Structure 1
Amino acid sequence: MKKKFTTTIDDELIKKAKIIAIEKEISVAELIEISLKEYFKKIGK
């Protein structure tokens, strides 16, 4: 199940995330989800 999540992020990070998402043809939400999963895997959580 997915839930809506609202937060505040640095403008430059948002710009970079949008560019990468466009390049990968995914949404920014998908990019954030992938990034979080990779981070949690990296730290063993």
Structure 2
Amino acid sequence: RCGRVAGRAGSITQMPILTMLNDDITHPVPDLTGYITEGQIVLS
């Protein structure tokens, strides 16, 4: 996600990083995080 702060130069960017037990990307936490952030990148 990114955005601007009123009255300030520049922008804010957020990159959530999750580590899940047994690399289970079907767990609700990474699934909902992918929905909220509009995508996922899976690294092994």
What TM-score do you get using the length of structure 2 for normalisation? 0.33
Q: Report the structure, 1 or 2, having the larger helix content.
A: 1
Higher relative contact order, chain-length normalized (CA < 8 Å, sep 6+) = 2
Q: Report the structure, 1 or 2, having the larger strand content.
A: 2
What TM-score do you get using the length of structure 1 for normalisation? 0.32
